[in-house]
Amino acid sequence: MSQMLDRLLQEKVVAIFRFIEDQYADQAAQALLDGGITLMEITMNTEGATNMIARWREKFGEQASVGAGTVLDLDMAKEAVAAGSQFMISPNLDESVVVYGYENGVPVWPGCMTPTEIVRAWKAGAEAVKVFPMGTLGWKYLAEIRAPLDKIPMMASGGVDLDNIGDYFKAGASAVGMGSKLLNMDWVRSGRFDLLTERASKFAEAAKSL
Question: What share of the chain has pLDDT > 70, as a percent?
Answer: 100
Q: What is the pLDDT of residue 203?
A: 97
pLDDT band at 210 (very low <50, low <70, confident <90, very high): confident
Q: What is the pLDDT of residue 14?
A: 98
Strands 111-112 and 129-131: parallel
Please say if the pLDDT value at position 1 is more than 90.
no
Q: What is the pLDDT of residue 186?
A: 96
Express each pLDDT in 157-204 by its tens digit: 999 999 999 999 999 999 999 999 999 999 999 999 999 999 999 999
**pTM of the predicted structure, to 2 decimals:** 0.97
Q: Structural domain boundaries of the chain?
A: 3-208
By the 10 Å C-beta count (0-12 exposed, 13-18 middle, 19+ buried), 207 is classed as: buried
The mean pLDDT of the chain is 97
Express each pLDDT in 10-22 by its tens digit: 999 999 999 999 9
> Domain 3-208's class?
alpha beta
Angle at CA 17, nearest 5°, toward 55 and 31?
Answer: 75
Q: What is the pLDDT of residue 157?
A: 96
Q: What is the pLDDT of residue 82?
A: 98
Give dist(CA 69, CA 57) in Å, integer: 15
Give dist(CA 70, CA 90) in Å, integer: 4
Q: How many CB atoms lie within 10 A of CB 166?
A: 14
Q: What is the pLDDT of residue 195?
A: 98
pLDDT band at 155 (very low <50, low <70, confident <90, very high): very high
